[in-house]
Structure 1
Amino acid sequence: VGHTTTAPHASAIAGKNNAATGDGALVLGGESNVAGGDANPHGTASGSNAVVLGGHINTASGYAASVSGGSNNKASGFTASVNGGVGNEASGSSSSVSGGRYNTANGYYASISGGGWNVASGVSSSISGGEDQHNL
């Protein structure tokens, strides 16, 4: 109900008030989720082939980025992923956050497995859990 699709080959299926705005983007269920988004800092369209699979207020705006549920999560990096939790963000290229809350993986290939308020900003940095850990 109330879905928006504005790009070629984009789909928003099931759920409520979802938007698929990137070329080939997909939102499957949930509420107020977005796959696609605005232009990135280099002025090219972002969100092509991005996927959001349920949850609430999640955004996948990076190329081939994905969010697999949870709430208020963002995957904005190239091929970045967030797999649940609350308020997590994967903004580095090929970065990932597997869950937890308010974690940020903004380094290239950075990963956070869980916990809260962690930041992985170094290239290939990782944090396996805990709270308020910073891996630069």
Structure 2
Amino acid sequence: MAAKRPQKATRTELELKSLNPEEAPADLRQIQAVLGKVQIAIADYLKSGAPLKITLNPVEILSAVEAAIREAEGHPSPWPDGADARTFFIHGLYDDLIQQPSNIFETKRFPDGTERYLPISPATWKACLEKLRTQIVEAGIKIAKREATKRKG
């Protein structure tokens, strides 16, 4: 006779595991809200370049996002801290991005039915950065197509 598995205990263990930010899967329902906060942080950072007359192009912004994705995977920044003002500014954007998860919380439902705010999980953070990367690439493609159409017309 096979022993029965305690369904309730197993489910509770899985639920508790999903509440651990280090082990929790990406919460795709929260990505849009997190993405909005990150976009505001990026816009604020980019505005700070105006007095320095530094305006980053999409490729430079994308490089900071790519580096933040690599950081989320456990790899350190690929840049030196500031070979020149522009590199320093891009690295600053990267630094600003990697600090965002400590300021962003997501709601988690606990097994007792309560909802609480916990720091964003690494998986949700990485998924957010990947979505941001996709948006930047898609926007760049749209701009390139518009410019190509203007040149033809």
Q: Which of the pair is proportionally richer in strand?
A: 1
Say whether the fold is shared (TM-score over 0.5).
no
Q: Which of the pair is proportionally richer in helix?
A: 2
Answer 1 or 2: higher relative contact order, Cα 8 Å, separation at least 6.
Answer: 2
Greater CA radius of gyration, 1 or 2?
A: 2
Q: How would you bin the TM-score normalised by the shorter chain?
A: under 0.3
Question: TM-score with structure 1 length normalisation?
Answer: 0.24
